[in-house]
Every structure is written in structure tokens, then in C-alpha cells.
Structure 1
Amino acid sequence: MNEQTSKYKPIGICPHCNHEVRAKISVKNNLRRDKCKCPNCGATIYVCRNYGCRNYAVGGDYYDDEFCPTCAKELMKFAGKFAEKSSGILLTALATAFSSFIVSKTKK
């Protein structure tokens, strides 16, 4: 890899301008993600933490997103489906426990 290509990240979607870009590294970091700039809109961006994804996440003054908007949306869909199934199981268990409690009190 030559010096010119090592200053840039792979092509991905910028979360600010939604253009396909090759982000330029503005701050190289060996322990965390490299801070990058979108060459199109100039916004601070980071590579998405989802394995295999090359799109970019929003970088902020106080907080940097971990995932690009596409991966974050998919994660929320998964979490919603999991919560929906879990809440149904929990509701059934609570109804069963409550009805067992009522039956045990009426038998006394």
C-alpha cells in the first residue's frame, strides 16, 4: 500500500450527505477508530463498527455513533423483534402466575 492510499479509507456512504465517498483520515489512531473527514461535505465521520460494513458513522463533538444509519436501523429491527417475543413470553408467564395465585386463594 502506498502512502497516498494509506491516508484514505475504503469507499462507503457518508451519513451526512449520503454520497459514496472515500473518507480521508484526519486523525490516525492505533487503539480506536481513525477520525475521518468526508471529502464531499467535510463532516467528521468514522468507519461503521459492524463487521464487514464499510459505510460511515456520524462523528460528533461529544459522542461518535458506533454504527452507520443502515446498520443501526437493522440492529433496532432485531432488538424490536426480540423485545416483542420476550414481552409475549413474559406476559404469558405473569398471567399464568396471577391466575395460579387467584385459584390458590379461592380454594382456601
Structure 2
Amino acid sequence: MALTSLSEILEPSAKRRPELAVEIAKLFAAFNLYTGDSVKSAAQVEVWGEQLGEFPLFAIRKAYRWAVRCEGKMPSIAAFIFDVKLAMGNNIAVKRVLLTEWRNSA
């Protein structure tokens, strides 16, 4: 469990694409975004995945919870990315360096 959590902080979500796609699909489902067109839905998940791929999964999951609990409608990708950055916190880059050094020394 600790290694899973550590990789959620260290790795961009693009390296864990299937899990990222699930989180995006959950967001779309929470706001009843499905139009009945599976090709369009797959394309939307792909676009969001490309835009969110640089961010860690823990921040995406936190922003998802905020959106579902606090938003009255589906957020734009720009608004969601803002929330993801907020969820990451100010010192995530420093934490990544320290955790990477610790991981490499173990």
C-alpha cells in the first residue's frame, strides 16, 4: 500500500493511464455527461487524459471529490486543472525530490 501511495505522488498520471481513465470516467458519470455516443465519450476521456497526464493521481482524485461534492455542474477542463494544482499543494515539487531520493536509496 505504501508503494502505491508513493507512486501516486511521484509519477505523473500518464504513466498510470488506465487508472487515470477510470477517474475521468467517474467524473463524467457523476455529472451524467454520457450522451449515448461511445466514440465521443472515449474521445473526451482521451482529451482530458492528455491534459491531466502531467499531474499525480492523488491530486486528480482529490479534485474529483471536490467537483462532485461542491460543483453544481461539470467543471471545464481549465477549472478542473486549477483544482488539481490546488490539491497538489505548494510544496509537491520539493516532496517529489525528497521521496525520489529516499526511494532510490532504499
TM-score tier after normalising by the smaller chain length: under 0.3
TM-score of the pair, normalised by structure 1: 0.25
Greater C-alpha radius of gyration: 1
Higher relative contact order (CA 8 A, sep 6+): 2
Q: Give the strand-richer structure, 1 or 2.
A: 1
Q: Which has the higher helix share?
A: 2
